[in-house]
Structure 1
Amino acid sequence: MADHPSTHKPSHDLVDHIVGLRPGGRTYEVRHQREKVVAATQGSYDALFDPHLPDLSLTERLLVALHACVLTPAPELAAHYRARLVTDGCDAALIQFAESAAHETASSNARLNAMLTFTRTLIEDPVEGDKAALLALPAAGISTPAVVALSQLIAFLSYQVRLVAGLKAMKASEEEETHA
């Protein structure tokens, strides 16, 4: 049985906000037909970016998210993660480094270099996310639980980026029909 969209709404839904979905719109209503999925998506975001999550700092997770969104590209999500980093007082040089798609200059932070390289590998060529790619992470001082958390984060970001892209396309189609 599908949840009724108006029975329960999260107080803040990042995807709805990023895409600009509002109650009453066809794309909003389609998305909210399965409220459990909407809630799980927001819940995953909340859990993955919980400041108290161990193994990876919030700043590291936000830098990985920014980097993944720049590589994809997903400009609205990149802007969101950039704004969170700025609000949290992240060093501007680290933000600029994460925004760099080229990585000509490596950061002096081997841990961050390894995380962003792994992110790039999984975003651009997931087949290359093999044993060698994984072993580069502990070599940079990243614990096994942190490697697992990083992999989960990148998988979520990949889902989030695709969800936003699909909803943006649906909303654009809806708006074209409205203006036709």
Structure 2
Amino acid sequence: MTDTYDASTDVIDRIAGLTPGSAAHATRHKRAKVAAATQRSYDVLFDPALPDLPLADRLCVALYACTLSKAPALAAHYAQQLAAIGAARAVIDQIAQGATSDAAFEPPRLRAMLTFTRTLIEAPIEGDKAALERLRDAGIATPAVVVLAQLIAFLSYQIRLTAGLQALQALNETEAA
């Protein structure tokens, strides 16, 4: 993983449809260090070498969080990333449809992570000790739980940022017409 920021590979800009020179792009990049830090967070959280939580699991969680949050462009991005690493199409499709109770989620580790994701996305106040114990009971060690929680927090930020930028971009396009 590189520590430099390359604006041409910025996931948020691409997903939100921002182009250099547009008002929404200029607004986002007014604080370049924030845009760079967001991309670096993405790069770290989806680095295949990140220990404790396999990349496939992280991408499944990302796809599910985006599906639950009705963020289709981001969901498509994560589905594509899953396909690129060879994830089973049936698993990708089930997660993209919000179905997580099928036998494809055996052993229960992935199902537990997706259930925890749903909890933090839809009812974060229920992300309590009992929710954490269910992860432990599914065989997920504490370091992996920490990564999982950080990932879900980042995804919530990414989803909201992208939605806001898409709305700003649409408003700017409407005003220009």
Question: For the aligned residues, what is the CA RMSD?
Answer: 1.3
Q: Are the counterparts in 1 of residues 101 and 111 from structure 2 also a CA contact under 8 Å? A: no
Residue identity in the other structure for 2:53: L
Superposed structure 1 runs of 4+ greater than 6 Å apart: none
- 122-131 or 88-97, larger mean C-alpha shift: 88-97
Q: C-alpha separation between the residues in 2 aligned to 1:9 and 1:55? A: 27
Q: C-alpha separation between the residues in 1 aligned to 2:90 and 2:98? A: 14
Match for residue 58 of structure 1?
55
Q: Quick check: 1:126 aligned with 2:124? A: yes
Match for residue 83 of structure 2?
86
Q: Are the counterparts in 1 of residues 100 and 111 from structure 2 also a CA contact under 8 Å? A: no
Offset, 1:92: 1.5
Match for residue 43 of structure 1?
40
The TM-score normalised by the length of structure 2 is 0.93
SS of equivalent residue, structure 1 residue 149: helix
Aligned partner (choices 106, 110, 113) of residue 115 of structure 1? 113
Match for residue 157 of structure 2?
159
Offset, 1:9: 5.2
> Alignment length, in residue pairs?
172
Residue identity in the other structure for 2:123: D
Q: Quick check: 1:25 aligned with 2:22? A: yes
Whose relative contact order is higher, 1 or 2, with alpha carbons under 8 Å and at least 6 apart? Answer: 2
Q: C-alpha separation between the residues in 1 aligned to 2:131 and 2:9? A: 36
- Of structures 1 and 2, the larger Rg is shown by 1
**Gap regions ≥5 residues in structure 1:** 1-7
Offset, 1:24: 1.0
Q: C-alpha separation between the residues in 2 aligned to 1:123 and 1:157? A: 9
**Gap regions ≥5 residues in structure 2:** none
The TM-score normalised by the length of structure 1 is 0.92
* 1:102-131 deviation digits (Å, cap 9, x = unpaired): 435352221001000000000011011111
Q: C-alpha separation between the residues in 2 aligned to 1:66 and 1:30? A: 27
Higher helix proportion (structure 1 or 2): 2
Percent of pairs identical after alignment? 58
